[in-house]
Structure 1
Amino acid sequence: MPTTTLDERAGSPTDRERDSPGPQPARTLAAAGVNHALHDGYTDLIYVLLPVWQAEFGLGYVALALLRSLYVGALAGLQMPATALARVLGARTVLVLGTLLSAGGYALAGASGGLIGLCAALALSGAGSSTQHPLASAVITRAYGSTARGPLGTYNFAGDLGKAALPPLAGFLLTSSDWRSVLWLAAGLGAVVALGVAGLLPREPVSRHAVRETTRAVPPGGDPSTGRAGFGLLVAIGVLDNAARPAFLVYLPFLLQEKGAAFVTVGVAFALVAVGGALGKAVFGRIGERFGVTRSVVLTETGTAAAILLVVVLPLAPALVLLPLLGLMLNGTSSVLYGTVPELAPHGRVERAFAVFYTWTLGGSALAAPLLYGPLGDAVGPKWAAFAAAATAFAVVPIIPFLSPHLARRE
């Protein structure tokens, strides 16, 4: 006579049920994806506006990098508080409020009369965006359980759709409107998305059983100290990878303008990077699962460094052609790393692991731009600063072998 486990008597879902998400996880993924598209579009919109702000306020590269870092720094530094607030108010409420706050920050930036007001507004908008990454990633992980790597790749892919849409739209609008009007339109779009997220995201994204099964699907694995070491290496790699991206993109508009590009062309260039990045996040999530984290990251970081060098030295037309490949490599690593966070989460605490990962990786990016790459750009120019970004990406390669033992059972 077959035995019946306690989980089966309690109604625990079967493996087939867990691997076949129903409409509720699909709604969760749709809401998180739309929200991610908006916030990532907000982040990259700043790059297109940097030349405008440089001309209006007479700023150097350090100050321009600082403007972006005010947004990204607030985004990174408030990830943990946002996670704590979600335990009190619920993930859906915090996500909606965060999106409204981010949109409100851009509205205030459009209404600002000077540089100080712009700085404060960008920091406020970044604070709103801090709610998005850890909460949405954890909600998707819990909704899909052991099959979450694919949906997490889709979620990351959605973010790049926003990057592909907002910067070129802003570049087009800047040819006929002032930058303040562009930010007001972006703020209005954010309010619409917040209402959509409130309607789409389920109040209770997963059941108690799904949470229990998700926790078992992403165990810390063995000795807790080993789990912490592996996760720490993953975070270090993420910091370097995430520092290379803005270190190059801050200077991309100026490199393109030196080659003769107009505002519209600069916006299109960021769209090309984003399209390649979206494909990279969609493809490399699966590649990492099939061929392993080590091989995938070595490929993407080496490819990133080579593509940056080529974009710097090539004329405008071939550089534009190369940008989708650059985006593919530039963002391919992140999809592999994000999908590995649940596997290496210390003690299986996925939500906290995502919050820590995003805090360190985005925080490192926010600090590196004004403290390292901004002064470098002022001292030696955009080209050599871009070469430094390529070196930062390649610096990941020697670290990867130290992560491999922690992934040996998964490689």
Structure 2
Amino acid sequence: MAIAQFAVARSPARKRVLAVACGAHALHDGYTDLIYVLLPVWQTEFALSYAMLGILRMLYTGAMASLQMPASVLARRTGGAFLLGVGTAVAAGAYLLIGLGGAGFVVLAVALLLGGAGSATQHPLASSLVSRAYDDQGARAALGTYNFAGDLGKMAIPAMVAWLLALMPWRGAVGIVGALGLLVAVAVLVLLPRDLGSARHVATQARPGTKDSAAGPIAFPLLLVIGIVDSGTRMGFLAFLPFVLKAKGAGFETIGLALTLIFAGGAAGKLACGLLGERLGVLLTVILTEGATAAGILALHWLPLYASLACLPAIGLALNGTSSVLYGTVPDLVSSARREKAFGLFYTGTIGSGAVAPVLYGFVGDAMGPINAIMVVAVVCLLTIPLAAALNPSLRRVA
């Protein structure tokens, strides 16, 4: 009864935490993918080579990936909510600098570096805030909702800027999304207590005992390896999908439609599989999602073009759905005091895997061709199932 009353009392506050975290996730993921829309604009504006465009993209993602662990450590002193608000303001300020400034390539590069540094605060800190808010029940479903919000941002913000580019100069469009980010930063700082997520605040909320010792020393490393394999599968498949469809006779418009279908399915998968994992558990959900992913990828080898297109939403659902289950399992394996560090390490590993996997699979594609390469991706994807089986006893101990 006491626990139920505690949950009810916390409900409005934790819903606020989830709403703010979802808003921040949508903004930051939208900022990250907005760069793809702006690269052709910058190429024309600054007469850049493809190598220079690649450097611009790397500055943002590299800063974001490399600073997640430092952000996790700093949040223990300043409070996760406060640092998330500051990071969001920095990322928004970077886009305002790009949009309102009249300077050239050097300022653009510095702004993207700052934007990536600001976005480094989002994944580990927002995830930790949500997981703690729902620590007593529903953490995996809440993190699935949070994960889904990021995909909404990936679709909404680039689409909004693409629409604005038809109405105004590109700097004005970028300035608008920068101003939007400042509003989100203010919302984070106003709606959440400044010290939420700090070491002092976590200590006052901590419960007796730790999940780390109950789960065992290999539990979190196993989860991290599953996440790395899953992220590599996703990025490897997406790298080869256009070439596989092209070999089946698809044109550029059809390939664009295919990517839209798989991303839409992926967004739905992040939400649905977070809820599914809450009901079925990690092992069964991973077997279902990764098995469906491998079966769907292999089916593309034999299916004609339009049948392949029809399968893509279901493949996207399974392909992206596993990530919500894995993110939602981090709180099951680490104590509340280590949450930021664990999420920082997890996101660094999965983002790094997503960056490296297309290169490694690229060598496979050069040697075997794209259709055979995605079959290798499907086989590697199935490695997550025995890894999840090895993790399952640890999850039972902390259940």
Letter in 2 for 1:43: T
CA distance in 2 between partners of 1:248 and 1:149 (Å): 26
Say whether residues 1:166 and 2:157 are aligned partners.
Answer: yes
Q: Are residues 199 and 346 of structure 1, via their aligned partners in 2, closer, same or farther at CA, if it must alter by over 3 Å?
A: closer
Aligned partner of 2:118 in structure 1 is: 128
Aligned partner of 1:151 in structure 2 is: 142
Is the 1:218–1:343 contact (alpha carbons within 8 Å) kept by the matching residues of 2?
A: no
Is the 2:87–2:118 contact (alpha carbons within 8 Å) kept by the matching residues of 1?
A: yes
- Deviation, structure 1 residue 29: 1.2
Q: Are residues 117 and 210 of structure 1, via their aligned partners in 2, closer, same or farther at CA, if it must alter by over 3 Å?
A: closer
Letter in 1 for 2:194: R
- Deviation, structure 1 residue 229: 0.5
Q: Are residues 42 and 232 of structure 1, via their aligned partners in 2, closer, same or farther at CA, if it must alter by over 3 Å?
A: same
Structure 1 vs Structure 2 CA RMSD: 4.0
Indicate the percent of aligned positions where both proteins have the same amino acid. 47
Partner residue of 2:250 out of 254, 259, 276: 259
- Deviation, structure 1 residue 320: 4.7
Partner residue of 1:282 out of 271, 290, 301: 271
Q: TM-score, normalised by structure 1?
A: 0.77
Deviates more, 1:203-212 or 1:131-140: 203-212
Say whether residues 1:24 and 2:13 are aligned partners.
Answer: yes
In structure 2, list runs of 5 or more residues that go unmatched.
none
Equivalences for residues 213-292 of structure 1 within 5 A: 215-216=207-208, 219-222=211-214, 227-250=216-239, 259-262=250-253, 266=256, 271-292=260-281
CA distance in 2 between partners of 1:399 and 1:156 (Å): 23
CA distance in 1 between partners of 2:166 and 2:299 (Å): 29
- Deviation, structure 1 residue 394: 3.1
CA distance in 2 between partners of 1:74 and 1:134 (Å): 14
Is the 2:211–2:332 contact (alpha carbons within 8 Å) kept by the matching residues of 1?
A: yes
Aligned partner of 2:339 in structure 1 is: 350
Say whether residues 1:407 and 2:395 are aligned partners.
Answer: yes
Is the 1:44–1:163 contact (alpha carbons within 8 Å) kept by the matching residues of 2?
A: yes
Q: Are residues 385 and 131 of structure 1, via their aligned partners in 2, closer, same or farther at CA, if it must alter by over 3 Å?
A: farther
- Deviation, structure 1 residue 255: 6.6
When the two structures are aligned, how many residues end up with a matched partner?
390
CA distance in 1 between partners of 2:53 and 2:371 (Å): 16
Deviates more, 1:150-159 or 1:51-60: 51-60
Aligned partner of 2:90 in structure 1 is: 101
Is the 1:146–1:214 contact (alpha carbons within 8 Å) kept by the matching residues of 2?
A: no
CA distance in 2 between partners of 1:100 and 1:376 (Å): 42
Q: Are residues 409 and 397 of structure 1, via their aligned partners in 2, closer, same or farther at CA, if it must alter by over 3 Å?
A: same
Aligned partner of 2:132 in structure 1 is: 142
Aligned partner of 2:382 in structure 1 is: 394
Say whether residues 1:336 and 2:325 are aligned partners.
Answer: yes
Is the 2:233–2:377 contact (alpha carbons within 8 Å) kept by the matching residues of 1?
A: yes
Is the 1:284–1:335 contact (alpha carbons within 8 Å) kept by the matching residues of 2?
A: yes
Q: TM-score, normalised by structure 2?
A: 0.79
Aligned partner of 1:364 in structure 2 is: 353
Q: Are residues 177 and 155 of structure 1, via their aligned partners in 2, closer, same or farther at CA, if it must alter by over 3 Å?
A: same
- Deviation, structure 1 residue 130: 0.9
Is the 2:80–2:195 contact (alpha carbons within 8 Å) kept by the matching residues of 1?
A: no
Say whether residues 1:326 and 2:310 are aligned partners.
Answer: no
